[in-house]
């Protein structure tokens, strides 16, 4: 059928946060045909369905997830070239694609070389880095609807904005994407990748599990700067910590749970809102019931006193 089934899968192994309970079923899907069949069944039986890529932008709940967690492999990792047009499977890692295209003398993806996402996930969220967003080089993508029905969309169909497209929350699954790149000098493109990677890694904590930026940047500012100004670098909850190196990154210092991360997120949210009047919006995916818990906490929870430094 093109699907490998794993019961009671460890979600913490599927996330760079190394946090999460057990998935009722993990389905590793190798072909579009198999994925279409699976989605059709999911729709007919009204099953819970979660798609995970590199797990670099998701917080899984400690109590795990019911239903299906799906990963794409096999033909979803193909890369095809036609001149400056590149067709890419949704499971290809974006940093790998940036390097592969640079090696072929195709430029345009270098600023995204450090963005830890699959192509599919990057398209869904309109990933961006160093002034370039996916929509700037994307021609379009192929998606499967909730029931497995395929559709080919142009980039204009996605209503792409800052860290958002209309694919988010739609239940549609990206299976491939097409990019228009520019022919150029391979050595120059590869040198740019090295430069960007050095700059990126210098600003991030290394050696500690994390998922990068926790919050989206508010218009005209940076979430990390606002959190820094609130004196929250180094704040801990359980085994989670707001990185002393970057205010918009939470690290797992060893054995952290999803509740620890949510506690720190709420602390940062309330501190920034109180001091600057800015309401930070999560950039990471809060899986399962975590998004509901986050929303309910903002509606119902009275902020606990937080020490704010000047």
Catalytic residues: 163, 213, 283
Asked if residues 179 and 81 have their Cβ atoms less than 8 Å apart, the reply is: no
Where does the chain show beta strands of DSSP type E?
3-10, 22-29, 49-51, 58-59, 65-72, 79-82, 85-89, 106-107, 128-129, 132-133, 138-144, 150-154, 173-180, 182-183, 210-213, 236-237, 240-242, 249-252, 285-286
Which residues are registered as beta bridge partners of 65?
A: 23
Q: How many other C-beta atoms are found inside a 10 Å radius of the C-beta of residue 45? A: 8
Chain centre to alpha carbon of residue 185: 30
How many residues would you count in the chain?
A: 310
CA dist., res. 51 & res. 275, Å (int)? 37
Q: Which residues partner with 29 through β-bridges?
A: 3, 72
Beta bridge partners of 151: 143
**How far apart (Å, rounded) are the C-alpha atoms in residues 206 and 92?**
23
Q: What is the DSSP letter of 63?
A: T
Angle between helices 186-202 and 94-103 (to 10 degrees): 150
Cβ partners under 8 Å of residue 5, min gap 6: 25, 26, 27, 28
Residue whose pair of structure tokens reads 């209309």 in the numeric block: 166
183 vs 95: CA distance, rounded Å: 19
């Amino acid at each position: 059928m093109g699907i490998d089934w794993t019961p009671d899968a460890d979600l913490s192994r599927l996330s760079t946060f190394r946090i999460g309970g057990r998935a009722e079923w993990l389905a590793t899907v190798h072909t579009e045909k198999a994925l279409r069949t699976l989605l059709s069944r999911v729709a007919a039986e009204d099953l819970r369905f979660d798609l995970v890529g590199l797990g670099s932008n998701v917080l899984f709940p400690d109590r795990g997830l019911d239903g299906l967690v799906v990963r794409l492999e096999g033909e979803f990792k193909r890369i095809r070239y036609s001149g400056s047009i590149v067709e890419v499977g949704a499971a290809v890692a974006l940093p790998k694609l940036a390097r592969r295209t640079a090696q072929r003398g195709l430029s345009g993806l270098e600023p995204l070389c450090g963005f830890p996402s699959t192509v599919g996930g990057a398209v869904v969220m309109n990933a961006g880095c160093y002034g370039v967003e996916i929509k700037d080089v994307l021609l379009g993508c192929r998606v499967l609807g909730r029931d497995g029905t395929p559709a080919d969309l142009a980039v204009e169909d996605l209503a792409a904005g800052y860290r958002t497209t209309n694919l988010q929350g739609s239940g549609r699954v990206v299976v491939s994407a097409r990019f228009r790149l520019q022919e150029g000098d391979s050595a120059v493109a590869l040198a740019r990748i090295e430069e960007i990677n050095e700059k990126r890694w210098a600003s991030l904590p290394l050696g500690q599990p994390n998922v990068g930026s926790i919050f989206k940047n508010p218009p005209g500012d940076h979430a990390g700067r606002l959190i820094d100004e609130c004196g929250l670098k180094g704040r801990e909850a359980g085994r989670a910590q707001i990185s002393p190196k970057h205010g918009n990154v939470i690290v797992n210092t060893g054995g952290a749970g999803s509740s620890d991360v949510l506690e720190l997120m709420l602390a940062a949210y309330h501190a920034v809102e109180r001091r600057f009047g800015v309401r930070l919006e999560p950039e990471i995916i809060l899986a399962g019931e975590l998004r509901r818990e986050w929303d309910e906490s903002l509606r119902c929870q009275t902020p606990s006193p937080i020490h704010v430094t000047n």
